[in-house]
């Protein structure tokens, strides 16, 4: 019986403990870094929705910025109006929105943080 176990370990099979440790590490990385990426994807969709229904005729940049900041703050993307860049071209009827967002991620069991920089861009043609 001991001879069979010794042969298995020699043939390169990983132990259950090693697989468990790798599974815990993978779960930690997913739970730590996936939420900011999901928020950035959701934020880009919300920015597109905010721009999709507007026309360039009589469009107020401040009102559009306030709308975008309000929607993004609602989902947990902490930005200010100074982080939003708008470019409205009335001749080509394109509206471009750029948002610079920095997500802070805290490592568990430590007091260390890391920052992930997201640069979200949306470009839509108004109706």
DSSP string, 31-42: HHHHHHHHHHHH
Given a cut of 90, is residue 42 above it in pLDDT? yes
CB-based contact 127:104 (threshold 8 Å): no
Given a cut of 80, is residue 10 above it in pLDDT? no
pLDDT at 11: 55
Whole-structure pTM value: 0.74
């Amino acid at each position: 019986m001991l001879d069979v176990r010794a042969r298995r370990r020699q043939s390169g099979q990983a132990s259950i403990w090693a697989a468990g440790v790798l599974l815990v590490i993978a779960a930690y990385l997913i739970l730590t870094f996936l939420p900011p990426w999901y928020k950035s994807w959701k934020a880009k969709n919300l920015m597109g929705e905010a721009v999709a229904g507007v026309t360039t005729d009589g469009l107020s940049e401040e009102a559009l910025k306030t709308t975008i900041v309000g929607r993004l703050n609602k989902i947990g993307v902490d930005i200010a109006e100074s982080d939003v860049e708008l470019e409205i071209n009335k001749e080509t009827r394109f509206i471009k929105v750029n948002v610079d967002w920095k997500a802070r991620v805290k490592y568990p069991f430590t007091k260390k943080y890391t920052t992930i920089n997201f640069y979200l861009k949306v470009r839509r043609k108004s109706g």
